[in-house]
Structure 1
Amino acid sequence: MTPSFEVLPGAAASPVILHVPHSAREIPADVRASILLDDTALERESDHIVDAHTSELAEAAAGRAEVVPWRFVNRLSRLVVDPERFPDEREEMLAVGMGAVYTRTTHGEVLRAADTDPEPLLARFFRPYADAMTRAVADRLAAVGRAVIIDVHSYPSRPLPYELHGDGPRPPVCLGTDAFHTPPALLAGAREAFGRTGVDSPFSGTYVPLEFYGRDPRVAALMVEIRRDTYMSEPGGPAGPGLARLATALAALVDAVSR
């Protein structure tokens, strides 16, 4: 059985965690049974929702970096649970049926019954993931006194119906920030590494485990959202030569942060 997630060690002196939450397509058979799409529709939905090739991107960047970052990689599809969503009413994506446990697709179709009890999936997948990510950050704080979470995502070149803020700019690389956890030097380093970037459009914010969120300034975070047409065939197609260029840029950001 595919593990829910994997923590891939980096250098002992590295503060960086490359977090890859949405790259996988794997859905356990018993979870698949609760999804109301047929196989063809589910494959099509996965093409739209999965951040394809981002795990390969993080792996290639780690291989290029002078100080190897740690990697935390989700090995299951976000259609199982989305580890970056709030599991309660704070989550704005509940409005489109895409909280921690999705009940709707990117195009508003029914994915699960609206009255699905999310608790079994939260207990089995969401909370263990959150606990492990909390430990990963705590380990970096204990080892080097700081932690830098770089969230590796991708997004489609054209807005999908589920996007709540899809009417803004869609730059080649969107940098999501947080007022507390994204220091100016981290944002500047990302702009230098990637070149053509925008900030907080069409996606904003960062992922920080709740134990540290808004409390511990030693934890820095940045979301890197890469527009898919810059490195792959949309939707869900193979990667192209842009992936290597982006891996070099991500490695440059990792090195800048590590220094």
Structure 2
Amino acid sequence: MPTPEPSPFQLLSGAPGSPVLLHVPHSSRVVPQRVRGGIVLDDGALESELDHITDSHTADLAARASGLCSVTPWRFVNGLSRLVVDPERFPDDREEMLAAGMGAVYTRTTHGEVLRPAGVDPEPLLDRYFHPYADAMTAAVDDRLAATGRAVVIDVHSYPSRALPYELHGTGPRPPVCLGTDGFHTPPGLLALAEAAFSGFGGTGLDSPFSGTYVPLKHYEADSRVGALMIEIRRDLYMTEPGGPAGPGLDALASALAGLVDGLMDL
């Protein structure tokens, strides 16, 4: 019998009264065989690309932080690699990363090499993976709004200490912790809490090398009850780059993230 395809995403329950949703979209290295067949890289090149593109150990980071929180947050975790689809891209030509071959369905690697053949139709992957993910995240945010009257999406990411060729804004600062913000969905209080929580790692920066944060399109610039912040942790703080094991820094970062989540209960 064929091996069942792994679940494309998982919503892990938190406390009923928590408005916080830790979103972990890029931690997995799993590429189902049905998707692997459309990728032109050989096995070795694919593993190397996964080393560079994966936000390694961020699902573990979110899990450890959740276990430390006074009020357990909810977690939404992508079970598949972003090489399948990237759930944080727009699936149309408004997304600037599309021009770099890294829209919702990547056609180029982090180093600009061909990942999928020219002219590949993205729709089957969008229909199978992207749209169900977006619908489930929308439902998760709606659920927190219904339960608590607000929702706070904390996007948990990491990024390499040295810029990769695909980065459109890789020449800017690369602080230990980059906080990605949105003018509508990141209130000053949320940003201040994050800056304080991660102050012990050598400093935080805003929107460089990555900016913005994830909000479902249904709520984007339409519902001020939805707060959002992206946390981008420079990988040399907690792991061996590019795709190696986690180190002791992961526990300290989990403690900081838990402090941020706990602080949000009083915001």
What TM-score do you get using the length of structure 1 for normalisation? Answer: 1.00
Distance 2:71 2:206 in 1: 26
CA distance in 2, matches of 1:258, 1:11: 12
The one-character-per-residue Cα deviations of 1:104-133 (angstroms, maximum 9, x if unpaired) are 000000000120000000000000000000
CA offsets 1:119-174 (integer angstroms, 9 cap, x no match): 00000000000000000000000000000000000000000000000000000000
Kindly provide the CA deviation profile for residues 183-223 of structure 1, in whole angstroms up to 9, marking residues without a partner as x. 00000000000001000000000100000000100000000
Task: From 14, 18, 34, give the equivalent of 2:18.
Answer: 14
The yes-or-no answer on 1:200 pairing with 2:207 is yes
Residue 254 (1) aligns with residue 258 (2): no
SS in 2 for 1:124: helix
| Structure 2 Cα separation of the partners of residues 64 and 90 of structure 1 | 39
Counterpart in 1 of 2:32?
A: 28
Partners of 2:91 and 2:77 lie apart in 1 by 20
Match of 1:50 among 29, 51, 54: 54
Which of residues 191, 198, 214 in structure 1 aligns to 2:195?
191
Task: Give the 4+ runs in structure 1 shifted more than 6 A.
Answer: none
Measure, in 2, the Cα distance between the counterparts of 1:238 and 1:114.
Answer: 34
* Residues in 1 aligned to 2:39 and 2:124: alpha-carbon distance in whole angstroms: 14
Q: Distance in 1 between matches of 2:45 and 2:95?
A: 26
Partner Cα separation in structure 2 for residue 206 and residue 114 of structure 1: 30
Count of residues in correspondence between the two structures: 259
> Pairwise mapping of residues 40-189 of structure 1 onto structure 2 (< 5 A)?
40-189=44-193
Deviation for aligned residue 1:258: 1.6
Other structure's SS at 1:180 match? coil
Distance in 1 separating the partners of 2:54 and 2:79: 12
1:202-221 paired onto structure 2 within 5 Å:
202-221=209-228
Which residue among 38, 41, 65 is the counterpart of 2:42?
38
**Which one-letter code corresponds to 1:103 in the other structure?**
T
Over the matched positions of the two proteins, sequence identity in percent amounts to: 72
Q: What amino acid sits opposite 1:181 in the alignment?
A: H
Paired AA for residue 219 in structure 1: V
SS in 2 for 1:79: coil
Residue 231 of structure 1: CA displacement?
0.2
SS in 1 for 2:175: coil
Among candidates 237, 245, 257, match of residue 244 of structure 2: 237
Q: Secondary structure at the match of 1:221?
A: strand
CA distance in 1, matches of 2:90, 2:118: 18
CA RMSD between the two structures: 0.4
**CA displacement at 1:45 relative to structure 2:** 0.1
| Aligned equivalents of 2:229, 2:128: Cα separation in 1 | 27
Aligned equivalents of 1:257 and 1:89: distance in 2?
35
TM-score by length of structure 2 reads 0.97
